[in-house]
Structure 1
């Protein structure tokens, strides 16, 4: 079969099954998989992803594939399926997360409606990133329907617990630790204008100050004999750390960007209006460039505070390093070539804003695309939606990309 015939057949099969694809996406959106947890408290034995893993597993099995549950527990299982030539020279994993953020406030429609209006499908997680997961599946279905054989091995990996901060040991990291290590990786985070070949890192921390609680009406507080205000200490720390400068080396991919230190992002302290606060907690968020690390940021904070007589503790919450890959890697070139043919333009390399599990791959020297997917709006906000025309085209792109890259 010539490449022209292959491409034409893919486009036709994607179009023919798109109504089914849309219906399946709606079913995933209706299945709640919101993840309110942090890396510190993400549970092993609560099915955070709900019925999404089961729906995906059953769909893959109905296509004649042999999916597997691979996870740290029954409740937190990733779905993995392999297809193609297992001993082929080329290999590719298409990776995506099944969990979503938690609903916030009152949405314009039900956050789990999966409703279709004016060429859009609505619902929490539709854009981030259930539409991409569905596009993976129906890209493969198009290839199966067209009886296209691959010369390399394709792995579809649907993972848990990414929304806790892209640093969970239960999802992508668990697969890597268990030997599911691809030769290349693709993560279809939303947006089709650019191909994400780099991502900023994240360091999140908590600072705790300790004081001495005492009733504000007692004479020992009045005379300064008892009591110490932990919130006042925290206020001093906040003042000192404002505008903390983080040294960095500029790189071409991160041109015009710099590390961003934000503190505090959240603060709490005190228990009553008539009591001196015994503790205060404040949280911080730092966006990193290549070369920056959590250790570097902690040392900068400690150096800034060392001349002040304040008792405090810094607790690490999340650390995801910044990473980048060669924008001329054959993985990138293959995707650009396909997109140019299907969408009429060549997406340029760009840095991803949010973190993804892609850093886990890049740190193992696995070339990884960290974002290219359907278009839409409202990600991590109210009224999240996906453009259905975009989803159909992206499904076609994914199918042709698999063939182009794996042969």
Structure 2
């Protein structure tokens, strides 16, 4: 299957001499040198990436990195100097004006940072604006607007004016307007940047919740790395118009491409980037029935571990520790000890997508954490020491190197 969106060798030069600037770029000149010699500004330089259907693809970088220029080229607001922008194979970069208008009406919607709502229109009318442009009849527009407002929790305010809503609520209206036309691709240009931190966090979580149902293809622009790491299935980091690295949050944090990216991720809370799935290992288990204390001790000795899970079928019924079993062997008051007598039934659990910061407390108890599914079946375990080692980030925030060392560690 081809990607929903494919960007190939995209350039944007601002100024009167783009051809001269392009020649200098191909000769290896830098952005500052091109500006000094031609007066042209390199907005985007040789950007290439693909976005799969249903993916949140985050583009992040500091001010002036080219991210906003890039997103505006994706829907034709800014024409590229060179390159291709393919939506299901249709090239936005070379589309005729009529085709570009159709693409904007039907295939791409944009959510802006500063809401861009019509103050004299009702919330429902604002949400239905794109449908009005497409010539959809008023009753149908109204019905669709109410449907989307229900999704974002604003149906009771359908007939209010934007001035009656808080900033966070107005941004939900902007999101609803983008969703109302049911576009193939949703472009979000720093949509939460003007919100207070707490409201911004709420909107981020709301977007993730909506995405589980809507499964939209989203290109999300931000200058906030924490936001990028939270939202992005993959992240592209830009600097001076170039994409310097594309990867998952885990790949970028563990294996930064260069010193620029390494500086970005140096102070990231790794516990909010990595999940149980990143540190889990095969579970050491024994069946509750037909396993003696001596057999369990011997297994732990052979495997070099201090605890193992005791199973009833596919479900863990408890965990036993080497210390407790060894003590029961020496207890003269219990001549024939069993696993059940040493069983710890109050054991820590997690699922595969639990973030590591949620394991700070459970890891402190010293027991391996059981990774279970929705039916309480044991999938794997997380050793407390592995959590702490991974969170320390020892020797992982170094720029990527050539060869085998370039792989995530």
Question: Which has the larger Rg?
Answer: 2
Structure in which a larger fraction of residues adopt helix:
2
TM class by shorter chain equals under 0.3
